[in-house]
Amino acid sequence: MKTFLRAFALILLSTALPAVAVVMPMRIPFQGKLIDPVTNNPKNGPFAMVFKIWDAPVGGNQLFSEPQTITVFNGVFSVQIGTINYLSADMLSGTSAYLGVTVGADAEMAPRQ
């Protein structure tokens, strides 16, 4: 009888506790290719990159920024934006968003994506 009462009590407690919502971090997958503008050869190695999200294709307000060091092989790289800095859906709701990419000390690539 004690076992039944304990099981019944556990069932009651588990239904009385509020549900816990799990919020998964938002990430944006992005791939690109780096080509040396002088030799037209693909680049290789680690590169410091900064990914910024803007509310306009030119100028505008910066909504998000994240620096990452990305390994490039035969010019190709793949990154998950939002792995270092928190990226929320609220930042992007109700507005257009444009991705700006900066490699090393170069200016931001144009046009924004």
Q: From first to last of its 113 residues, what are the pLDDT tens digits of the chain?
A: 544 344 444 444 455 545 555 566 789 999 999 999 899 999 999 999 999 999 999 999 999 999 999 999 999 999 999 999 988 887 777 778 999 999 999 999 999 99
Distance of CA 53 to the CA centre of its chain: 10
For residue 15, the tally of other CB atoms under 10 A from its CB is 7
Name the helix (H) or strand (E) containing 23: none
Q: With beta carbons less than 8 A apart as the criterion, state whether 95 and 55 touch.
A: yes
Find, among 32, 29, 52, the residue nearest to 42 by Cα.
32
Find, among 107, 93, 6, 2, the residue nearest to 50 by Cα.
107
User: Global pTM?
Assistant: 0.76
For residue 111, the tally of other CB atoms under 10 A from its CB is 9
